[in-house]
Amino acid sequence: MISKIKHAMILIGMAWLYAGCQASIDSQRALYQWVNNPTNGMVKSKEVGLYRLTMKYMPPELQASRELAHKSPQKADDLLKSERDNLTFVLNLSPVSQSGRQDIMYQEVSSYAAYKQRAMDMNFNMAKYIAIKANGKEIRPGIAHLENTYSLSQGRNIMLVFDRRQVPQNARKLDIIFTDQFFGTGIHHFVFHQKDLDNLPQVTYLDK
């Protein structure tokens, strides 16, 4: 009798583990939560002095979800298919403390000309300062642009899109290198493990 109970408990435990491994994501909110949870390996952050630099992987599912939210006429499948050709990341540059700090665009600039130069560089020249290194190969982003020059928030996002076909398929690590030319914080490495990027649970709400 005890043996049977033990067996039943083991089976229940295994079923629970299986269910845990097969967890799915059923809303955009849950998807954002997963991506933003640092333990899932899709977001890496560094702090240097007054600045925080955060690099976040944007899975194709999230990109497709965002597009659909903007009432794109395309179907989720088509969107996913086109997004899977890309590797998309967002680099966020923010002050560490949000209180009393001015907009990051004005930090460490001494004149209007310097500000203009920064806005120009961040809008059009970011690709020069960012690359993925994978298996010794260096890949520059096809798109690297500042989301918005003017903003109510003190930080800024830079959208980075790489051509996935250029990244070696057997690469286990993607090392994104950002050489800061703006805030004097040096060279930064954000290392993503391919197994973490592939570990996104099934996103079910896109199929509905």
Partner 1 sequence: MKTLYITNLIILVGIIGYLAWKPSLTPTIAYVRSAYLVEKYLGVKEAQRNYQKKLASWQINADTLQHKLEATLKFYQTQQATLNEAQRKQLRVEVQRRRADLDRYQLNMQTKAKEEEDRLFGGALKQINSFVEQYAKSQGYEIVLGTTETGNLMYASHAYDITDEVLTALNKNYQQ
**Contact residues: partner 1, CB under 8 A:** 44, 46-49, 179-181, 184-187, 189, 191
Which of residues 142 and 184 has its CB atom nearest to partner 1 in the complex?
A: 184
In the complex, the smallest distance separating the C-beta of residue 195 from partner 1, rounded to whole angstroms, is 15
Q: What are phi and psi of 75, to 5 degrees?
A: -85, 155
Give the residue with the Cβ less far from partner 1, 49 or 168.
49
C-alpha count within 13 angstroms, C-beta hemisphere, residue 158: 28
CB of 194 to partner 1, least distance (A): 15
Measured between alpha carbons, how far is 193 from 201 in angstroms, rounded to an integer?
16
The runs of H, that is alpha helices, within the chain are 2-21, 28-36, 60-69, 76-83, 112-124, 194-197
Residue 137 C-beta: closest distance to partner 1, Å: 17
Which residue's CB is nearer to partner 1, number 149 or number 179?
179
Structure-block tokens of residue 84: 């899977």
Tell the smallest beta-carbon distance from residue 206 to partner 1 (Å). Answer: 31
Which of residues 41 and 201 has its CB atom nearest to partner 1 in the complex? 41
Q: Based on CB atoms, which residue is closest to partner 1, 48 or 171?
A: 48
CB 131 within 8 A of CB 187: no
Q: Is 175 exposed, middle or buried (0-12, 13-18, 19+ CB in 10 A)?
A: middle
CA 25 to chain centre: 17
| Smallest separation (angstroms) from partner 1 to the CB of 154 | 19
